[in-house]
């Protein structure tokens, strides 16, 4: 089923507004010292009690395979495939969305400079907020779903694509929480920032490029 462009724009506008609001609420809670901060500690204590050697080994591999560097490399490969297949618009959208996410992530990390929990199992560097793994994974898999959704021939294929993307993003993000590399709010902020980056970029491309056939043809 194909949705008209105006309907998709409204959907992404709603995602943009909701994810932006969630991110603002989290930032406000961190800055004002409200009940959101004790929530970090409470969730951390629950997750620590879940740790077992086999699960730790598995999630260490998950966090390594789901690292921003790996996902960005895969995204670059997908973009090249898009270009080879003549899908230049999709390639540009994929890459620009990830650039927006990474730049936004870097700005927020260096602006707030929140330290990590201190109970991490693996070596981590840099500031904690927001989670780079959660941000890039959300952006990558959301864009993967968006790029291939209409290529799925059956409803089952579309559902599998959506659910597998959600599951993989959640698993990568949970691995960071489990391994003590991030607070819970870092993860939630990463989700929100990823969705914000995707919805913003898709809207910009849709309004200024996709709706202007001559311009779109020009970059293709």
Query: For the chain, first and last CA: distance in Å?
Result: 25
194's CB contacts (< 8 A; 6+ apart) are 101, 134, 135, 136, 137, 138, 139, 142
What is the CATH architecture of 5-210? Answer: Up-down Bundle (1.20)
Q: Which of 24-38, 62-76, 133-147 has the lowest mean pLDDT?
A: 24-38
When pLDDT is cut at 50, 70 and 90, the band that residue 48 belongs to is: confident
Measured between alpha carbons, how far is 216 from 220 in angstroms, rounded to an integer?
A: 6
* 52-96 residue pLDDT tens: 999 999 999 999 999 999 999 999 999 999 999 988 999 999 999
For tokens 């899908």, the residue is 87
Helices (H) then strands (E): counts for the chain: 9, 0
Tell me the C-alpha distance between 3 and 17, whole Å. Answer: 20
Helices 53-65/155-178 angle, 10° precision = 110
Residues in the chain: 220
Let me know the angle formed at the C-alpha of 210 by 208 and 213, rounded to the nearest 5 degrees: 100
Both tokens of 91, joined, read 């390639």
pLDDT, mean over the chain: 87
Please tell me the pTM assigned to this model. Answer: 0.88
Pull the structure tokens for residue 76.
């670059």
From residue 15, how far is each of 8, 90, 137, 147 by CA, in Å? 11, 20, 17, 17
Give the start-to-end residue ranges of the domains of the chain: 5-210
Q: How confident is the model at residue 217 (pLDDT cuts 50, 70, 90)?
A: very low
The CA distance from 30 to 25, in Å, is: 9
Alpha-carbon dihedral angle through residues 126, 141, 11, 190, given to the nearest 10 degrees: -20
CB 183 within 8 A of CB 129: yes
Residue carrying structure tokens 């500690």: 41
Residue with tokens 């959640």: 170
Is residue 207 left, alpha or beta, with left meaning phi > 0 and alpha meaning psi from -120 to 50? Answer: alpha
């Amino acid at each position: 089923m194909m949705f008209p462009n105006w309907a998709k724009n409204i959907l992404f506008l709603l995602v943009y507004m909701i994810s932006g609001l969630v991110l603002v609420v989290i930032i406000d809670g961190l800055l004002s010292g409200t009940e959101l901060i004790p929530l970090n500690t409470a969730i951390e204590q629950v997750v620590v009690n879940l740790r077992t050697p086999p699960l730790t080994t598995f999630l260490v591999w998950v966090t390594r395979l789901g690292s921003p560097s790996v996902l960005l490399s895969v995204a670059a490969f997908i973009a090249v495939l898009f270009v080879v297949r003549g899908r230049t618009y999709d390639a540009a959208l994929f890459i620009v969305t990830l650039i927006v996410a990474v730049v936004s992530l870097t700005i927020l990390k260096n602006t707030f400079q929140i330290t990590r929990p201190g109970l991490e199992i693996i070596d981590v560097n840099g500031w904690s907020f927001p989670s780079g793994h959660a941000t890039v994974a959300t952006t990558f898999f959301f864009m993967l779903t968006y790029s291939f959704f209409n290529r799925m021939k059956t409803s089952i294929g579309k559902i599998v694509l959506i659910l597998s993307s959600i599951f993989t993003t959640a698993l990568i993000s949970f691995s960071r929480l489990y391994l003590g590399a991030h607070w819970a709010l870092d993860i939630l902020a990463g989700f929100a920032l990823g969705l914000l980056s995707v919805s913003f970029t898709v809207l910009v491309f849709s309004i200024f490029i996709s709706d202007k056939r001559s311009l779109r043809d020009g970059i293709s």
